[in-house]
Amino acid sequence: MKSLLKHRLAWPVIALAALLLLNQVFRPDFLSLRMQDGHLYGSLIDIMRNGAPTILIALGMTLVIATRGIDLSVGAVVAIAGAASCAYIAASPEPGSPVTAATAVLIAVIAGLALGIWNGFLVSTIGVQPIIATLVLMTAGRGIAQLITGGQIISVSNDPYKSIGAGYLLTLPISILITAAVFILAAVLTRRTALGTLIEAVGINPVASRLAGLRSRNIIWIVYVFSAVCAAIAGLMISSNVTAADANNAGLYIEMDAILAVVIGGTSLAGGRYTLVGTVVGAFIIQTLTTTVYTLGIPPEVTLVFKALVVITVCLLQAPKARNLLSSLKAAPKPAAKEKVAI
């Protein structure tokens, strides 16, 4: 039991289980799933579907944070990707055809690639601190998205495009399947190859890993591109779910949710060791929180206060200092030498 509690995923999983249990107590049919018209329905499916964009972005963010970086621009990338694809569909001669939808997806992914390369260039080649390098795109990005949409909300009606965010395949929402595919891809690519170790090496000590012959620049570049592409796909999901591109509000504050998901999941902002599973659990916690607010009948305007309190509680529980305090009853271990944490 003790060793289980010491596992890095223990607290996030306990928090998630507690939240789900709380919901189950207040609404006995909460955990039940039902089939209707060949689709699975239920609160759990809703949580997963609504959380899909956040999970996707948080996956990219995990790798960025593992290299001691941070990507603030993901919300802007969401807006740009949605704006670009919807603007293309709206302007194309056949706004309803699958080919148009496919091209729109391609455009969004290419936009994500380009923006990721830009962020990676600033961080790895120019050597700008990640937080400022991505702040540039965070600030300018929404402006660019508005430039693309002309300040309007562009609505599109294209069934294949709509299915990305709202469609079903094999009884499951397509957005969940896409997110699962990206998760498996990221997990296999980083854990079955040396890439994951290299990313952690860069995060733990960039100088040492460079001296050890690692091309840390390329690694850093890869994670920013991956993060931006994830954000672009999330942008597709969000815009397709409402069949419109809203340059102002699409993905607003999603970078904050994603960063929180990563931190709650147990990956330190100081870089180094990361856990993709933890991130997914963290994202579920955040999404379940929103659902819990509705289940408990808490007025929606209190959601943010509730979220703030849970976030700070989970962070406090995870903080090594708080844990030391808890275990100091038994023995007083010397706190490890503090390293300056760069964000």
Partner 1 sequence: MSPLTTLTPLTVKKPSPARNRLRGGARYAPTLATVGLFIAMFAVGSGMYPSFLSGQVFLNLFIDNTFLIVLAVGMTFVILTGGIDLSVGAVVALSMMVSATLLQQGWNAGAIIVLVLLIGGGLGLLMGLIIQYFDIQPFIVTLAGMFLARGLCYVISLDSIPVTEGFFTGMAQAQIPLPGDLFVSPGVLLALGIVAIAFFVLHHTRFGRTVYAIGGNEHSAMLMGLPVKSTKILVYALSGLCSAVAGILFSFYSLSGYSLAAQGMELDAIAAVVIGGTLLTGGTGYVLGSVVGVLVLGIVQTFIAYDGTLSSWWTKIVIGGLLLVFILLQRLFARKTR
Please state the φ and ψ torsions of residue 154, each to the nearest 5 degrees: -90, 120
Q: Which pair of structure tokens corresponds to residue 303?
A: 């959601």
The identity of residue 74, as a single letter, is V
Does 315 sit near partner 1 (CB under 8 A)?
yes
User: Which one, 41 or 306, has the nearer CB to partner 1?
Assistant: 306
Does 338 sit near partner 1 (CB under 8 A)?
yes
Give the binding range for partner 1 (CB under 8 A) out of 21-29, 133-141, 172-180, 200-208. 133-141
Q: Which of 33, 132, 185, 188 binds partner 1 (CB under 8 A)?
A: 132
Distance CA 155, CA 209 (A): 48
Q: Which of 13, 137, 238, 258 binds partner 1 (CB under 8 A)?
A: 137
Give the binding range for partner 1 (CB under 8 A) out of 98-106, 198-206, 212-220, 254-262. 254-262
* Minimum distance of partner 1 from residue 216's CB (angstroms): 18
Q: Which pair of structure tokens corresponds to residue 48?
A: 């997963």
Q: Which of 129, 155, 171, 290 binds partner 1 (CB under 8 A)?
A: 129
Site string for partner 1, 13-52 (x = CB under 8 A): ----------------------------------------
Which residue in 266, 273, 270, 262 sits closest to 339, CA to CA?
270
Chain centre distance of CA 279? 8
Does 307 sit near partner 1 (CB under 8 A)?
yes
* Minimum distance of partner 1 from residue 76's CB (angstroms): 9
DSSP E strand boundaries for the chain: 34-36, 39-41, 154-155, 168-169, 172-173, 244-245
**CA-to-CA dists, residue 75 to 140, 187, 204, 228, 337, angstroms:** 11, 23, 27, 10, 36
Q: Which of 17, 91, 188, 302 binds partner 1 (CB under 8 A)?
A: 302
Pairing of β 39-41 and β 34-36: antiparallel
User: Which one, 170 or 329, has the nearer CB to partner 1?
Assistant: 329
Does 115 sit near partner 1 (CB under 8 A)?
no
* Minimum distance of partner 1 from residue 297's CB (angstroms): 15
Q: Which of 25, 102, 106, 147 binds partner 1 (CB under 8 A)?
A: 147
- Number of Cα atoms under 13 Å in the Cβ half of residue 301: 0
Does 181 sit near partner 1 (CB under 8 A)?
no
Output the CA torsion sign for 195, 196, 202, 208: negative
Does 223 sit near partner 1 (CB under 8 A)?
no
Does 251 sit near partner 1 (CB under 8 A)?
no
Count of residues binding partner 1 (CB under 8 A)? Answer: 51
The identity of residue 201, as a single letter, is A
Does 263 sit near partner 1 (CB under 8 A)?
yes
* Minimum distance of partner 1 from residue 202's CB (angstroms): 18
- Crossing angle (nearest 10°) for helices 74-91 and 216-241: 50
Please state the φ and ψ torsions of residue 254, each to the nearest 5 degrees: -70, -25
Does 320 sit near partner 1 (CB under 8 A)?
yes
Does 141 sit near partner 1 (CB under 8 A)?
yes
- Which positions ≥6 away from 228 have C-beta within 8 Å? 60, 71, 73, 74, 77, 112, 113, 115, 116, 119
Does 144 sit near partner 1 (CB under 8 A)?
yes
Distance CA 95, CA 87 (A): 10
Interface ranges with partner 1 (CB under 8 A):
70, 122, 126-129, 131-133, 135-144, 146-147, 151, 247, 256, 259-260, 263, 269-270, 301-309, 311-312, 315-316, 319-322, 338, 340-343
